[in-house]
Structure formats: structure tokens, C-alpha cells
Chain A
Amino acid sequence: MGIFDVYLLEALINGVLLGGVLALLSLGLNLVFGVIDVVWICYAELIMLGMYAMYFLSRVYHAPMVLAAAICIVTVGVLGVLLHVVVIAPLLGAAPINQLLATGGVLFFLQSAATILFGIEFKNLGVRLPVLKVAGMFISYARLLAFGAALIGMVLVYLFLRRTYTGTAIRAIAQDRQIMTLMGVDSRRIYVITSALGGGLAGLAACLLVLQYDVHPFVGLTFGPITFLICVLGGLGNFGGGFVAAFVFAEIISVGGLYLDLEWGYVFAFAFFIAMMFVRPQGLLARRS
């Protein structure tokens, strides 16, 4: 294997690892949009709060990592429910632009609140996870862990959606909101469960991202736009499409960044997104009608 092939392989593997986390990020947003038909513009800010929760639990209160992660997931899940009950539910009958603006308002509210409460300093867990050296390639242990946990999280959500009646109802309501309520389903209950699930996924993402990134009040801007674009690329509300789109995006970023600067990977990814919006505006896996 030539030295260049090793770099390429390393980039491909890192792309897969990044893809797993991006897929997890987009699943939460997609789930909420698919079921409730509202885009949580402030989704990444929930992740930011989760990262702060991890920081305080682990660094300040010295909770064991697994316990901190569990508390973080539950806390952000509760925040998801609060977001739904306080902001989304009263606006369900309103024009979509109002809902979008309201969650956009929550984004700035959370950023400002975090700035006041936590300050603008970058904070981290102070944990340095080792880097694995395999066949001349460097693979970050944090990324490997994040990938594995993201995959487990997604499998659990998948099983929940497939094996339980509540999950089946969530899939059904994502497809046809009107009929579902007329079939005897209390949609408010399904919405609250979905919001808890979406928040929980944001909480899991926070646990994984805090291992790789410092937390600060504006860290949501690092993940928010890309998560949203992945959901759109996969077809908003299409869970499978979002999964595929996450890996496509991650590989473009990772391999694109290999040949030029890292930032170029993002340039390629966003250019690809714009091009795809012309070619397949309904999303990668959209059925042709």
C-alpha cells in the first residue's frame, strides 16, 4: 500500500465514523419533522445544552462518565418535551413560517441564556482519548466510540419504531397525519413521545460530540446547519434518506479535505448539496411519482 492509499483509506474510514455521528444528529431532527411537521431550528442548541450538562456533571461534579451520559440524555429529552409543549404545541395550527421563526427565536434565546449562565469561554471535559495506530493509519478513539454509540442509539430507535405499537404509530403519523388521528390515536401523546425521542437523540449526540469538541454558547452553529442540510438532502422526514445522506456528506467532507485543506471538504459538501437540490429536490431516496 502506497503512502497515498493509506491517507485515502484513513480519510474514508474517518468519513464513515463522522457519518455515523451525522446520521445520529439528523435522525432526531428528521423524526421530529416527519411526525410533527415542524423543524426544530434550535435543535443544535439543545445539543449545546447537553454538552454543558456533560461538562458540569463530569468536570465539576465528577460523576462517572456513563451516569453523566444517562443524565444528559434524559435531561435533553425533557428539554425536547418542554420545547414542544411550551413553543410548538400552541403554534401547531399556525403558518409554518411562524413555527420556524418561533424555534429560530428559541435558538437565540438559548445561545444568549448560555452566554449569560456559562460565559463565552471554551470548556471541555479534559479527557484526552488515545489515538489508535492501525496499519499506518491514525484513527481517533473518540471518533470510534462516537460511531459505535451512535450506531447503537440508531439501532435502538429503529427497533422501537419497528417493534412497538407506539413506534408503528409514529411511522404511520409521519406518513399521513390526518388519517392517524381519525383512527383513534391521540396525536398529542405521539407528539410528546416523539419530542422526547428527538431530544434524547440530541442528548446522545451531545455526549459523543463533547468528547471531540469544546463546548461554548455558539457551538450549535458548528452542527446545526449541516444537520439541517443532511435532512433536506435525504428528503425531510425520510429517515432512510437522512441516513444515506449523512454518510455521503461525511465522505465528501473527509475525502475532499484530504486533497486540499480541511475547509475545502465543507466547500465540496455544500456545493454538492446545492447541485443535488437542482437534480433531486425531493431528496436522495425520494420515490419518483
Chain B
Amino acid sequence: MLSIEGLSKRFGGFTAVNNVSFAVEPGEILGLIGPNGSGKSTIFNVLAGALVPDAGSIRFEGREIGGLAPYRIVNLGIGRTFQIPRPFHRLSLVENVVLSGFYGQGRPARARAFEAAERALALVGLPTDRAASVDGLGAAALKKLELAKALASGPKLLLADESLSGLDEHEMDQAADLLRRIRKDLGVTIVWVEHIMGILMRVVDRVMVLDHGEKIAEGLPAQVAADPRVIEVYLGTQAAAVRVAAAAARG
């Protein structure tokens, strides 16, 4: 579905992503993990069109999308959420999502955009009445709104950026379930960047680990969690490794 070959992105003298290649299969959930500054967000921003890659190719359904404008990438069927939700406070909840439904699908009929928005809101469990406001939504609801906005654009591939950060344990489980449901009910393929590893390891089919802009491991969660290089660069301590391996084994 998505294949990345030799992707590099530099900021001045700093190489944020160095010659990274990977592929995403239709219908899978791929986890993307790594310590701070490992290049996860840069890869996301390049995939979504917010950054232009310096080298390498990005093919989505056989078509080169590297360097396309963000709106064209959304229109091709790649939706994204943001780590820090940035809703439009002066717009109603429904308006927030409808906009994405309208422009994300390349300006279809009003009714279709509205239906897409209502479906997305219902799926994530947010109110669909027109008067509902964005103000007063908690961290968990704002994360749901992010997902609803991305889903309303009718994506085939969803780029989920830290859908768990800022949530408590119960909310994290719910958010993880939601990602599973999005894949199951809508058939959406998901690439999920996350800092919190335990829950991610239970949900994803495969996981890829980045460090200093390079891919250091890729495979099934249990394999990756046991990889000594991953334990060294990402987890640091043996104790954490044991915890993650246990979490992966449970899932």
C-alpha cells in the first residue's frame, strides 16, 4: 500500500531521517517507535506532505507522493492526526469535522461531507448534534476529535500521531480499542507513532524502531522487544525491557 525507499530528510547539517526504507501492507497496523528526536515525527511530516524529502521515494498505491502538497496527499487517501490536538475553537464540533469531510474528500456534495462527519463522530463516540461545542472537551475527547477529523476525510491510510499521550490508563485502553475498531470496521490501514510502548505493542501487527534517524529494527512486537539493540537504545534499562516483553507476550 505504502512503500518508502531510501528516505532522507536533513535540516541544515542535522540529518533527521537517514536512508530509511519500509513498507506498509494493506489492512495492517504498523507501530513506529523510537526515543525523542529519532525521526518519527519527521517521517510523519514527510508522509503527510508537511515536509519535502531530500532523497528517496514514497509510493502510495503505486504513485509517487513525495513532495506533493498536503491537501493533495489528503485527497489521495492519507489522513493524519496530530499529537497535540488543535481544534478550531470558534467552530462547532460538527463544523470542525465537516470541514475535513468536505475538503479531505476533494469537495463532494454537502450531504456527503456531512454524512462522513456524522459517521466519524459516531464511530469515535462524540456527540453529533449541531450545537455541540469544542470548548470544554477533555484530553480524551480531543484525541477522539482528532481521529474523527482524520476519518471524515475518508482515508485508506491513517497516520496516528501519539494518540495516547496525555491520557490516563483507562482512556489509553479505550483509545487503543478505537484504533483497532477503525481498522476492523472501516478497513483503514494504520501507521501509529507512539511514545508509550506497552499498549502499542499489544495492538500493532508489526513494529519499527528508529534511532537517530535510522531504522534499527522491524518485525513482530515480541521479536523487536527482545532485540538487544532496541533494548539498549530505546529502553535503556533491563527492567523496562522485561516489562515491555511481558506486555507484548500478554497481547
Chain A residues proximal to chain B, CB less than 8 Å: 165, 168-169, 171-172, 175-176, 178-179, 181-187
Contacts and interface: CB of A to CB of B under 8 A. Distances in A.
Interface stretch (B23-31, B59-67, B70-78, B124-132): B70-78
Given A184-B100, A186-B69, 7 more contacts: A165-B99, A165-B103, A181-B69, A181-B70, A183-B103, A184-B74, A187-B71
Q: Tell me the interface secondary structure of chain A in the complex.
A: helix
A182 B75 CA distance: 10
B9 interface: no
B91 A168 contact: yes
A44 B103 CA distance: 33
B113 A165 contact: yes
A183 B86 contact: no
17 contacts: A165-B98, A165-B99, A165-B103, A169-B99, A169-B103, A172-B99, A175-B90, A176-B88, A182-B80, A183-B103, A184-B75, A184-B100, A184-B153, A185-B99, A185-B103, A186-B103, A187-B71
Nearest to B92: A168
B197 to A, nearest CB: 26
Chain B interface category by residue count: 20 to 34
B127 to A, nearest CB: 19
Contacts of B89: 175
B71 A175 contact: no
Nearest to A183: B100
A186 B106 CA distance: 10
A162 to B, nearest CB: 9
Ranked nearest first, the 3 interchain pairs of A and B with the lowest CB-CB distance are A184-B74, A184-B104, A184-B103
A169 B71 CA distance: 13
B64 to A, nearest CB: 19
A284 to B, nearest CB: 17
A169 B107 CA distance: 12
Given A165-B110, A165-B113, A183-B149, A175 B88 contact: yes
B234 interface: no
A168 B86 contact: no
A165 B100 CA distance: 10
A181 B98 CA distance: 15
Contacts of A187: 71
Contact of A183 (B69, B104, B106): B104
A35 to B, nearest CB: 13
